[in-house]
Amino acid sequence: MPIGPQPRGARGTAKHPYSALNLRLALASFGLVLLAALAVAMFAFHQPVLGGVAVALAAVTIVDIVVIQLRRRQRRRIDPRHHTLFE
């Protein structure tokens, strides 16, 4: 999948995005904070397996945030106007 404002052949355009990138970024950031807190709590309660699972999911969330940021940067190059949370 190319890293751009949206996948090729998708149903959206630069004016009408396929994905609400800002909303995805907000939700992924919330998930990262939640998973980091969960990992710290699990390690504090001596549950290393659950803490490891939370760390692994947090790593996946970080990758998702990087991909979202790359797509937002590409979208900003194509359409420099300000986008709301749901665009």
User: Of 82, 60, 59, nearest to 72 (Cα)?
Assistant: 82
- CA dist 83 and 87 (Å) reads 6
Residue ranges per domain, the chain? Answer: 21-77
Over residues 1-32, the pLDDT tens digits come to 556 665 566 566 666 666 688 889 999 999 99
Tell me the pTM.
0.75
Q: Is there a contact between 62 and 55 (Cβ–Cβ < 8 Å)?
A: no
Over residues 38-87, the pLDDT tens digits come to 999 999 999 999 999 999 999 999 999 999 999 888 888 887 777 676 66
- CA dist 71 and 82 (Å) reads 15
